[in-house]
């Protein structure tokens, strides 16, 4: 007589936790162990780990024919977290563990050959799946406990060994779920006041932070581009509780959480090297794992030496910048990763980096260098500033000008509140304003309208550039607390767009937009 046992579990698809039923059928016949339901990778190897762990725990099961079904079978399933539910179902099928404790409970964990229960990737996504689809109780490896318990509304229990779990299920070991601990965002970021000079670039950084605009800083080495970029996370509002969970989830799925910080409470800052591949940047592999743009979700993606990145690599950024997510297609499945990041790019003015009088580059070298930036991507960067090197004089003279990250952050928070009120509650930012709403929501006063009109006539600005200028001007007015966009807001937006007199340096191959 075949015996059937069913145990609830969950697994990670992209960054989403999905419920799965692990059905185990044990029947007489040749001792064959089969897993069906589109198992992939580590799932297929679970047999060895499960039987070794069971034997080590004192359960030597007589050889029978075992079929494991992972239902539903619509998507290929990967990961090592199925070991534990398979082991529990096997024991239940053989009446070696009480079935009464299995209802309303999901199990996830990788088994070691010695019967230990090892952490899995994406535990927080699994807890989120339980909150959404049930069951309400979840057993996870002890190493994943803090991370999973950050999700409210789920009873999470951490176990270290298979023996411990069996003791709990049989009622021999008393046990209480981990108390839910809500993550609290912390600000841990170098302060803006440590950067001397560079008033214009600091102002651009503040506008970028307030409206979610992308920014390109151009200047010779030593002008402080990297220093400034690293301070942007400190100018952005602290993560909300749900955002902490979102950031943690991406890092957990990527296998990048450490025990030092099991729940992410700071905005990410990612600075991949320019030799990175397209897969490394937007995500790749099979099963797909998040790339740098998703690890920068709700934080900052800093691309230093911007023109040195592969052209194809940069092209892959265009779609995620607009949609805030990235789709990765594989056989039988497409995975979507979140990618709402703020792009900060930096570049030297020419290959040697010196610019001006000290430059040793030929005209052709410089042209080739700038042409590498694709027009359409540069088109999506709202703010562009030129940075001169800070002179010794300036360093000595300029005392810290009193602009701390804290004072800027306060202005940014107020400007964002004005945007939220205007967009009717959703946390939209000016940078993401769709073209068809720009004209309606970016109202100009008469002087502002006149100046923009003049700009259009004098520089032949395209419709796209006008929209981008308006979005930036809207943010500048929001920082100043003005309901209509004025003349000075437009003037500053135009200046920050043109790169402050270094239009030549910033428009590759003489592009004028």
How many whole angstroms separate alpha carbon 468 and alpha carbon 508?
Answer: 19
How many whole angstroms separate alpha carbon 361 and alpha carbon 414?
Answer: 45
Q: How many residues bind Zn ion (CB under 5 A)?
A: 4
How many whole angstroms separate alpha carbon 431 and alpha carbon 467?
Answer: 10
Out of 4, 352, 449, 466, point to the residue binding Zn ion (CB under 5 A).
Answer: 352
CB contact at 8 A, 220 and 348 = yes
Angle at 290 between CA 87 and CA 78, to 5 degrees: 25
Give the residue among 255, 344, 349, 260 at the shortest CA–CA distance from 304.
344
Output Rg (C-alpha) for the chain, integer angstroms. Answer: 28
Tell me whether residue 126 or residue 505 sits nearer to Zn ion (CB atom): 505
CB contact at 8 A, 340 and 334 = no
Between residue 373 and residue 402, which ones bind Zn ion under the rule CB under 5 A? Answer: none
Tell me whether residue 80 or residue 348 sits nearer to Zn ion (CB atom): 348
Q: How is 6-25 classified by DSSP, letter by letter?
A: EEEEEEEETTEEEEEEEEEE
Q: Nearest distance from residue 499's CB to Zn ion, in Å?
A: 17
Question: Phi/psi at 17 (nearest 5 deg)?
Answer: -80, 140
Q: Nearest distance from residue 385's CB to Zn ion, in Å?
A: 19
Q: Nearest distance from residue 510's CB to Zn ion, in Å?
A: 18
Tell me whether residue 187 or residue 352 sits nearer to Zn ion (CB atom): 352
Tell me whether residue 269 or residue 386 sits nearer to Zn ion (CB atom): 386
Q: Nearest distance from residue 351's CB to Zn ion, in Å?
A: 6
Contacts 24+ apart (CB under 8 A), 480-486: 481/414, 481/418, 483/443, 484/443, 484/444, 484/445, 484/448, 485/442, 485/443, 485/444, 485/445, 485/448, 486/444, 486/445, 486/447, 486/448
Q: What is the separation of C-alpha 262 from the centre of its chain, rounded to a whole number of angstroms?
A: 16
The stretch near Zn ion (CB under 5 A) out of 54-62, 170-178, 268-276, 343-351 is 343-351
Tell me whether residue 364 or residue 440 sits nearer to Zn ion (CB atom): 364
Please name the residue that has the structure tokens 């162990």: 33
CA atoms within 13 A on the CB side of 373: 30
Q: Nearest distance from residue 361's CB to Zn ion, in Å?
A: 3
The stretch near Zn ion (CB under 5 A) out of 30-38, 274-282, 347-355, 392-400 is 347-355
The stretch near Zn ion (CB under 5 A) out of 67-75, 105-113, 140-148, 360-368 is 360-368
The stretch near Zn ion (CB under 5 A) out of 62-70, 201-209, 344-352, 426-434 is 344-352
The stretch near Zn ion (CB under 5 A) out of 79-87, 150-158, 159-167, 349-357 is 349-357
Out of 359, 420, 449, 456, point to the residue binding Zn ion (CB under 5 A).
Answer: 359
Q: Nearest distance from residue 388's CB to Zn ion, in Å?
A: 15
Q: Nearest distance from residue 354's CB to Zn ion, in Å?
A: 5
Tell me whether residue 152 or residue 356 sits nearer to Zn ion (CB atom): 356
Q: Does position 466 bind Zn ion by CB under 5 A?
A: no
Tell me whether residue 278 or residue 359 sits nearer to Zn ion (CB atom): 359
Instruction: Name the β-bridge partners of 384.
Output: 216
CB contact at 8 A, 141 and 118 = yes
Tell me whether residue 225 or residue 468 sits nearer to Zn ion (CB atom): 225
Out of 42, 361, 420, 491, point to the residue binding Zn ion (CB under 5 A).
Answer: 361
Tell me whether residue 168 or residue 359 sits nearer to Zn ion (CB atom): 359
How many whole angstroms separate alpha carbon 367 and alpha carbon 307?
Answer: 12
Q: Nearest distance from residue 350's CB to Zn ion, in Å?
A: 3
Between residue 421 and residue 440, which ones bind Zn ion under the rule CB under 5 A? Answer: none
Tell me whether residue 276 or residue 359 sits nearer to Zn ion (CB atom): 359
Q: Nearest distance from residue 273's CB to Zn ion, in Å?
A: 22
Give the residue among 113, 129, 126, 22 at the shortest CA–CA distance from 66.
22
Q: Nearest distance from residue 505's CB to Zn ion, in Å?
A: 11
Enter the DSSP assignment of 282: H
Q: Which stretches of 150-259 are DSSP H helices?
A: 162-169, 199-211, 225-230, 241-253
Which residues neighbour 363 within 8 Å (Cβ) at sequence distance 6 or greater? Answer: none
Out of 15, 217, 350, 412, point to the residue binding Zn ion (CB under 5 A).
Answer: 350
Binding site for Zn ion (CB under 5 A): 350, 352, 359, 361
């Amino acid at each position: 007589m075949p015996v059937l046992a069913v145990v609830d579990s969950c697994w990670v698809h992209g960054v989403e936790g999905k419920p799965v039923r692990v059905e185990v059928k044990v029947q007489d016949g040749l001792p064959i162990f089969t897993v069906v339901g589109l198992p992939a990778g580590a799932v297929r190897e679970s047999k060895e780990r499960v039987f070794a762990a069971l034997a080590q725990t004192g359960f030597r099961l007589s050889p029978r024919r075992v079929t494991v079904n992972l239902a539903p079978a619509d998507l290929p399933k990967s990961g090592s977290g199925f070991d534990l539910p398979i082991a529990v179902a096997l024991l239940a099928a053989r009446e070696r563990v009480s079935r009464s404790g299995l209802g309303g409970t999901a199990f996830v964990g990788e088994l070691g050959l010695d019967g230990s229960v090892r952490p899995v990737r994406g535990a927080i996504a699994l807890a989120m799946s339980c909150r959404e689809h049930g069951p309400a109780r979840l057993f996870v490896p002890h190493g994943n406990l803090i991370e999973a318990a950050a999700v409210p509304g789920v009873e999470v229990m951490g176990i270290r060994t298979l023996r411990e779990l069996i003791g709990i299920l049989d009622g021999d070991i008393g046990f209480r779920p981990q108390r839910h601990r809500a993550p609290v965002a912390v600000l841990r970021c170098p302060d803006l006041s440590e950067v001397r000079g560079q008033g214009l670039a600091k102002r651009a950084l503040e506008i970028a932070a307030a409206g979610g605009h992308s920014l390109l800083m151009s200047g010779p080495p030593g002008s402080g581009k990297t220093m400034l970029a690293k301070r942007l996370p400190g100018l952005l509002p602290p993560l909300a509780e749900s955002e902490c969970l979102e950031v943690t989830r991406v890092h957990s799925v990527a296998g990048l959480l450490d025990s030092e910080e099991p729940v992410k409470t700071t905005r990410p800052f990612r600075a991949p090297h320019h030799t990175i591949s397209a897969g490394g940047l937007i995500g790749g592999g099979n099963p797909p794992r998040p790339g740098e743009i998703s690890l920068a979700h709700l934080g900052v993606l800093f691309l230093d030496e911007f023109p040195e990145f592969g052209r194809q690599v940069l092209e892959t950024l265009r779609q995620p910048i607009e949609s805030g997510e990235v789709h990765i297609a594989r056989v039988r499945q497409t995975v979507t990763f979140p990618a709402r990041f703020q792009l900060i790019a930096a570049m030297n003015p020419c290959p040697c980096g010196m610019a001006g009088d000290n430059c040793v580059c030929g005209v052709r070298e410089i042209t080739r260098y700038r042409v590498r930036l694709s027009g359409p991507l540069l088109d999506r960067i709202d703010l562009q500033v030129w940075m001169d090197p800070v002179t010794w004089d300036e360093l000595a003279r300029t005392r810290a000008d009193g602009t701390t990250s804290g004072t800027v952050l306060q202005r940014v928070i107020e400007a964002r509140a004005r945007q939220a009120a205007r967009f009717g509650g959703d946390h939209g930012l000016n940078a993401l304003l769709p073209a068809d709403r720009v004209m309606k929501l970016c109202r100009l006063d008469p002087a502002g309208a006149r100046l923009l009109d003049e700009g259009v006539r004098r520089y032949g600005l395209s419709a796209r550039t006008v929209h981008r200028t308006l979005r930036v001007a809207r943010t500048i007015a929001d920082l100043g607390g003005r309901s209509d966009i004025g003349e000075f807001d437009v003037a500053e937006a135009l200046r920050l767009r043109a790169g402050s007199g270094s239009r030549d340096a910033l428009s590759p191959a003489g592009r004028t937009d």
